């Protein structure tokens, strides 16, 4: 369970308000989209959840833990519960698909045996088992994003945060990425996705939190894109 309790975030002594009195809960296994115009507060909200920045007011809980009270030394362990996917993929260009995914496990101190078992499984889950030795420049945008998703899930996080994951993709690749995120969600991982893509939201038919000027404007169980 993720619980934002009256979270506000302001910068420059209150001159710039990024979040204002934001309250919501996300249950385990939910698939939630966060929508809103540029500047609505979506990135700030994700930063709070990743404990990359602190709220000016209010509390963010993960289960019973106030995540902004986690000592610095324990933050890496907390962050391992969350896999991240970005619009621009953030793959290492000089590593193959396999090596990009393996690197995330190495960074987590996993054994060679675990890596040899889990990396092919993660790449199979994103339907890339035939391209595991391709470098990013030998992959399409959609394929690169699927490598990034494999990397995000390989350490079996509780939550996937996908920040505009289809922002750079054509409609077919967008459809494929959304299907894979749905599959990962069906397997039990909570998915939190920001998007500007009306088609994605309407196709998903899942919960939508609409942000506007730092506030939650709407929170619809089976939402439509209404901006």
- Interface residues with ligand ADP (CB under 6 A) are 11-12, 16, 18, 36, 38-44
CA 25 to CA 96: how far, in whole Å?
38
User: Minimum Å distance from CB 47 to ligand ADP?
Assistant: 8
Nearer residue to ligand ADP within complex by CB, 14 or 93: 14
Strand-by-strand arrangement of the 65-66 sheet = 16-26, 2-11, 57-62, 65-66
Instruction: State the CB neighbour count (10 A cutoff) for residue 173.
Output: 18
Nearer to ligand ADP, 35 or 126 (CB): 35
Q: What are phi and psi of 104, to 5 degrees?
A: -65, -30
Assess contact for 100 and 137: CB atoms under 8 A.
Answer: no
Closest distance to ligand ADP from the beta carbon of 207 (Å): 18
Rounded Cα–Cα distance for residues 166 and 168 (Å): 6
* Cβ distance to ligand ADP smaller for residue 19 or 102: 19
The distance of closest approach from Cβ of residue 100 to ligand ADP in the complex, given in angstroms and rounded to an integer, is: 26
Q: How far is the CB of 14 from ligand ADP (least distance, A)?
A: 11
Alpha carbon distance 174, 197 (integer Å): 9
Q: Is 101 exposed, middle or buried, given 0-12, 13-18 or 19+ CB atoms closer than 10 A?
A: buried
- 44 vs 185, beta carbon nearer ligand ADP: 44
Nearer of residues 12 and 64 to ligand ADP, judged by Cβ: 12
Rounded to a whole number of angstroms, the minimum distance from the CB of residue 164 to ligand ADP is 9
């Amino acid at each position: 369970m993720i619980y934002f309790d009256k979270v506000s975030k302001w910068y420059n002594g209150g001159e710039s308000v990024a979040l204002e009195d934001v309250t919501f809960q996300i249950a385990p296994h939910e698939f939630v989209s966060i929508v809103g115009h540029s500047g609505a507060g979506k990135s700030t909200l994700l930063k709070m959840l990743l404990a990359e920045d602190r709220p000016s007011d209010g509390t963010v809980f993960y289960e019973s833990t106030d995540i902004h009270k986690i000592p610095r030394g324990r933050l890496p362990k907390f962050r391992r519960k969350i896999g991240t996917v970005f619009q621009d993929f953030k793959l290492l260009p000089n590593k193959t698909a396999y090596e990009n995914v393996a690197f995330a496990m190495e960074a987590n101190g996993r054994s060679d045996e675990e890596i040899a078992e889990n990396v092919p499984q993660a790449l199979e889950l994103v339907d890339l088992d035939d391209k595991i030795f391709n470098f990013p420049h030998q992959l399409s945008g959609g394929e690169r994003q699927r490598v990034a998703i494999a990397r995000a899930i390989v350490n079996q996080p509780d939550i996937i945060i996908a920040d505009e994951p289809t922002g750079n993709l054509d409609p077919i690749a967008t459809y494929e990425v959304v299907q894979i995120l749905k599959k990962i969600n069906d397997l039990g991982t909570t998915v939190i996705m920001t998007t500007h893509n009306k088609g994605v939201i309407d196709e998903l038919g899942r919960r939508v939190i609409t942000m506007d000027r730092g506030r939650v404007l709407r929170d619809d169980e089976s939402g439509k894109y209404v901006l």
